[in-house]
Amino acid sequence: MYKSIAIVGATGAVGRLIRQLLEERDFPYEKITFLASKRSAGSTITFKGEEHEVQLLCPEAFEDIDLAIGSTPDDVAAEFCPWATERNCVVVDESGYWRMDPKVPLVVPEINPEAALNHQGIISSPNCSTTQMVLAMKPLHDAGTIRRVIVSTYQATSGAGVQGQGDLINGSKAFLDGDDYKYQAFAHPIAFNLIPQIGSHKQDGYTSEEMKMVYETQKIFGDDSIKVCPTCIRVPVENCHSESILVETEKKISVEEAKQLFAATPGITVVDNLQEGVYPMPADCSGDDAVFIGRIREDLSCENGLAFWCVSDNLRKGAATNAVQIAELLVQSAAAV
């Protein structure tokens, strides 16, 4: 069913990772097409040892394409997804545009794979900060029913794209040399600094990034009663988002039980030995598809509370890997029919 596939936004940072993952995971296809904007169309990329010319993203590009994986800005996704679905092409979309559309499933394969199979042409992949948090929540929610989450994120500059990473490196050099630097991605200096705002002001003092974590979490679990209080912070780290998470459950879960639940969950790796100074850190987690969890402990202020530290590569599981896993889920389901 999914013989012809396309990568939309193939030359971007996440698009490059999607291409890499398709090679590494030996994703099945008979024909592959790489699509991008006018700026990149006509360039060539190497995939599985062969040169491919990048095609222009336009309505006609989706003729005879069965499955597309897209990583584009929201406004581009708003335009190209209907082009694809009108031509019977299923889209796995990385952008934020379709996530809260009631007709579009929002999927993390380890949590709600069945939602992906009930699509109407478009399947959304969540925001990177949401993805790692909900995967960490999943085993605890199954065991004890999570009622409340307090999360503070420490988000890497790679989440703001190539310009964000450039701001960190070039801004740090300028700071150390005593030179001025004009930041491209950030409204404030990120070098040797923290910026407690990601996204625009949304409501009641919360930013758009923070409200994504609220609404996306509830949609993925299909439970609007889960309360989420997020604070999202940009930090001077090049790659991997970190999160300090506190959950309150209906049924008490001990630290030992939580460790066992995390360890038994596909996609989660437990790294937790405080006495030996062993815990997840961005420098150690970059380039890995896992969600790493450590510093697991009881909440001293709440009887049924657990606190833990969570780190994940935001470009991989937070973006490219999750999208490719959704595509694999579709292929596997079609093959089983």
Q: Quick one: residue 43, left, alpha or beta (phi over 0 = left, psi -120 to 50 = alpha)?
A: beta
Distance CA 311, CA 133 (A): 9
Reading the block at residue 89, the tokens are 């092409």
- 115 to each of 105, 123, 330, how far by Cα in Å? 6, 9, 11
Distance CA 136, CA 129 (A): 11
Q: Which of 81, 89, 128, 232 is catalytic?
A: 128
Q: Of 309, 285, 279, which Cα lies nearest the Cα of 297? A: 309
Is 241 an active-site residue?
A: yes
Q: Which of 81, 89, 240, 241 is catalytic?
A: 241
Which are the contacts of 174, defined by CB distance < 8 A and separation ≥ 6? 180, 181, 191
Is 121 buried (19+), middle (13-18) or exposed (0-12) by CB count in 10 A? middle
> Number of helices and strands (H, E) in the chain?
9, 16
Residues belonging to the active site: 128, 241
